Amino acid sequence: MTLHSVILGTGSALPKQRVSNDDLAKRVDTSDEWIVARTGIRFRHIAGEGETTATLAAAAARQALDAAGISADSVDLIILATATPDQTFPASATKVQALLGIEDCVAFDVAAVCSGFLYALSVADSMIRTGAAKRAIVIGAETFSRILDWEDRTTCVLFGDGAGAVVLEGRDGAAGILATKLHADGRHNELLYVDGGPSTTGTVGHVRMKGSEVFRHAVVNLATVMTEVLSTTGLTAADVDWVVPHQANARILDATARKLGLSAEQIVVTVDQHANTSAASVPLALDTAVRDGRIQRGQILVLEAMGGGFTWGAAVIRY
């Protein structure tokens, strides 16, 4: 018997308010031309009153449960990847649990910023394959708009809010998560971080990033981890149908694809519509491509992400 974590369904949620580059140019010294040329971003969604990481996460989870055709109370594990929890504690995953009406399950948050969804997916997969869980909801959800410095044009134009989710179940067979690979290198804290926290300043803080240095690391680390994770499955880049990447910058997506010899058409791109939604970006892109029919059952997917820490990782899935 070969137990794999199979994706039964996907879902996503975006805040109501959609903000264009021109809207931002009214607030900070920037332009649609600069943002599109440097990042590929055209729009982002920004959470309004009553919209939080947990409410977006629960909406995405509900959609994934519907797509999977299963009821919430059959889930025994919720992992929420986020760097913008509703409260410092308890874990926002427990709030999602309550919103979904699940009385008892395991629920916790994972903090790995933009690669959080890959970290959460890997932990859920391990728990499923060891028998610690049978059905899991894995969510990436963020409200980065609440930790942006809206005076800093080098960061505030890059991020957006949203959530994406998958429902996983352990099943015997060839489909499911084939491999995951995670990395962290804590020496690069000062390249991408938040300048506050409960144990240092007692404040929430704002995102700070040395963008061009993060860019250089991202292209190298992402290409390497994708090759690494594929090699553990015996597959090569030629076997890959779709790459579902972290959506930070269209130029990073192009450069990474080129390094692996993949065509631009095989990369799922949503950065133009959602901007960088941190932990939400991979599951949001996955759900988009599942719902529009690009991703089909049986296809080989590579998911990848890199973010603050640095942390980075990739997964190979037979969908």
Residues near ligand UT7 (CB under 6 A) are: 30, 34, 38-39, 114, 153-154, 157-158, 211-212, 214-215, 218, 248-249, 252, 276, 306-307
Q: Is 276 a catalytic residue?
A: yes
Nearer to ligand UT7, 108 or 215 (CB): 215
Instruction: Kindly state the tokens that stand for 258.
Output: 């080129």
Beta strand residue intervals within the chain, DSSP E: 3-13, 17-20, 43-46, 77-81, 106-110, 135-143, 161-172, 176-184, 192-194, 207-209, 242-245, 300-307, 311-318
* Catalytic, out of 4, 105, 114, 249: 114
Cβ neighbors of 47 (< 8 A, separation 6 or more) are 15, 17, 56, 143, 145, 146, 161
Q: Is 246 a catalytic residue?
A: yes
Nearer to ligand UT7, 212 or 263 (CB): 212
Question: CB of 159: closest distance to ligand UT7 in angstroms?
Answer: 8
Residue carrying the six token digits 């962290």: 184
The gap between the terminal CA atoms of the chain, to the nearest Å, is: 19
Nearer to ligand UT7, 80 or 207 (CB): 207
Q: Is 189 a catalytic residue?
A: no
Q: 160 near 13, Cβ under 8 Å?
A: no
Rg of the Cα trace of the chain?
A: 18
Nearer to ligand UT7, 171 or 251 (CB): 251
Instruction: Kindly state the tokens that stand for 118.
Output: 């890959």
Question: CB of 36: closest distance to ligand UT7 in angstroms?
Answer: 11
Q: How many residues does the chain have?
A: 319
Question: CB of 72: closest distance to ligand UT7 in angstroms?
Answer: 31
d(CA 60, CA 227): 30
Question: CB of 211: closest distance to ligand UT7 in angstroms?
Answer: 3
Question: CB of 249: closest distance to ligand UT7 in angstroms?
Answer: 3
Nearer to ligand UT7, 64 or 306 (CB): 306
d(CA 213, CA 217): 7
* Catalytic, out of 156, 246, 249, 274: 246
Query: Catalytic amino acids?
Result: 114, 246, 276
